[in-house]
């Protein structure tokens, strides 16, 4: 059966201008870090991608190594694009990245011109695209000169293989340096992608730089790998990420102190008529252009989108949140 997009998909989603640009990103973007690779069920991945688009989510965030296995998330997206979304390509904002380990040898990771351009060429083939909308350098490289990485981003931009460029996981100082180097080349960095949530606030100084320089921002892990949901309030479920072998969230990360804070935040969210996850997304959106949500099923995406029904905090609520987080 041929896919036909929901004709009301733009009626309820909120779109926000991305820094000093003509780009408007949906408040919620769909990340394909997990659950979209070749170890996932293709029918479920397709349902989530198309369901997200039907809800007005036009931004799909990928990277060369997303899967698992590495590269397979881009292949999955390419299949869905070719089968269902090709007529809507000009409505989509597709991103990919390079910088983390992808293949053997000295050019399989980091930030050399060789690595970045080769990686993007591979990504375009996997997705069946002529260009991506934004290409990120995924992490700063301590050994490659910043100027070389900037030259690679410039060459990618000038070649038309990406419409915009961005950076990810840069410190405040590194962000300032890269923005300056790119600016000297006449290039505006569109966006910075970073880890940011109620429980991970170390990048607030980066956000200060971006606000000052009029660069867009997008948060990954706005739910702190699931901690900012009600999933762990009564212990660690056996089928949860923390119960597995994840290096990003494990039993040691889930302390009694964190759960106590999460429980109090959950109570506040209930008073607002929201789930904790919905409130956490709204909180992150107070400082960022967009937040990247992950999902293992379409129902989770639908629940997250309901966060947009209550986007305002009272001063009293902000004070209560800050008191809980500092406690």
**What CATH code is carried by the domain that includes residue 293?**
3.20.20.100
Establish if 251 belongs to a structural domain: no
CA dist 38 and 35 (Å) reads 9
Establish if 206 belongs to a structural domain: yes
Establish if 243 belongs to a structural domain: no
Q: Which DSSP symbol is given to 228?
A: T
Tell me what pLDDT residue 251 has.
56
**pLDDT category, 243, cuts 50, 70, 90?**
very low
Tell me what pLDDT residue 327 has.
83
Two structure tokens written together for 2: 């041929």
Residue 235: left if φ>0, alpha if ψ -120 to 50, beta else—which one?
left
Residue 245 in this model has a pLDDT that exceeds 90: no
Residue 24 in this model has a pLDDT that exceeds 60: yes
This prediction's pTM:
0.94
Tell me what pLDDT residue 238 has.
58
* Secondary structure (3-state) at 8: coil
Sign of CA dihedral 119, 216, 68, 40: negative
Average pLDDT over the chain, rounded to an integer = 94
Tell me what pLDDT residue 252 has.
66
Residue 21 in this model has a pLDDT that exceeds 90: yes
- Per-residue pLDDT reduced to its tens digit, 283-296: 999 999 999 999 99
Tell me what pLDDT residue 168 has.
98
| Percentages of the chain per state (helix, strand, coil), in multiples of 5 | 45, 15, 40
Two structure tokens written together for 226: 């699931």
Residue 179 in this model has a pLDDT that exceeds 70: yes
**pLDDT category, 250, cuts 50, 70, 90?**
low
Tell me which residue range forms the domain holding 187.
Answer: 15-236+276-309
Establish if 3 belongs to a structural domain: no
Can you tell me the mean pLDDT for 179-189?
98
CA dist 30 and 14 (Å) reads 14
Tell me what pLDDT residue 236 has.
57
Tell me what pLDDT residue 279 has.
98
Establish if 263 belongs to a structural domain: no
* Secondary structure (3-state) at 192: strand
Number of domains in the chain: 1
- Per-residue pLDDT reduced to its tens digit, 134-158: 999 999 999 999 999 999 999 999 9
How far is C-alpha 255 from the geometric centre of its chain's CA atoms? Answer: 26
Establish if 159 belongs to a structural domain: yes
Tell me what pLDDT residue 246 has.
53
Sign of CA dihedral 117, 131, 163, 62: negative
Establish if 28 belongs to a structural domain: yes
Tell me what pLDDT residue 307 has.
98
Q: Give the rounded percent of residues in the chain with a pLDDT score beyond 70.
A: 94
Establish if 191 belongs to a structural domain: yes
């Amino acid at each position: 059966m041929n896919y036909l997009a929901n004709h009301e998909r733009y009626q309820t989603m909120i779109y926000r201008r991305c820094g000093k640009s003509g780009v408007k990103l949906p408040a919620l973007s769909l990340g394909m870090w997990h659950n979209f690779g070749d170890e996932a069920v293709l029918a479920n991945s397709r349902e989530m991608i198309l369901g997200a688009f039907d809800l007005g989510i036009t931004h799909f965030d990928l990277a060369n190594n997303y899967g698992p296995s590495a590269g397979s998330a881009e292949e999955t997206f390419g299949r869905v694009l070719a089968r269902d979304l090709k007529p809507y390509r000009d409505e989509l904002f597709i991103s990919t990245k390079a910088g983390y380990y992808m293949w053997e040898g000295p050019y399989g990771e980091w930030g050399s011109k060789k690595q970045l351009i080769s990686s993007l060429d591979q990504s375009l083939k996997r997705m069946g695209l002529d260009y991506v909308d934004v290409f990120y350098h995924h992490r700063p490289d301590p050994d490659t000169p910043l100027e070389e990485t900037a030259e690679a981003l410039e060459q990618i931009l000038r070649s038309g293989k990406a419409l915009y460029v961005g950076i990810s996981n840069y410190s405040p100082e590194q962000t300032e340096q890269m923005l300056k180097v790119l600016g000297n080349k006449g290039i505006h960095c569109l966006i910075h992608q970073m880890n940011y949530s109620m429980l991970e606030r170390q990048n607030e100084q980066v956000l200060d730089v971006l606000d000052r320089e009029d660069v867009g921002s997008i948060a990954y892990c706005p739910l702190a790998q699931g901690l900012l949901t009600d999933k762990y309030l009564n212990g660690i479920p056996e089928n949860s990420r923390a119960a597995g072998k994840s290096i990003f969230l494990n039993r040691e990360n889930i302390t009694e102190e964190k759960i106590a804070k999460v429980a109090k935040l959950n109570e506040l969210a209930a008073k607002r008529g929201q789930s904790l996850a919905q409130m956490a997304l709204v909180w992150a959106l107070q400082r960022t252009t967009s937040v990247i949500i992950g999902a293992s099923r379409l129902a989770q995406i639908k629940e997250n989108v309901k966060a947009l029904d209550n986007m305002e905090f009272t001063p009293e609520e902000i004070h209560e949140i800050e008191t809980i987080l500092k406690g």
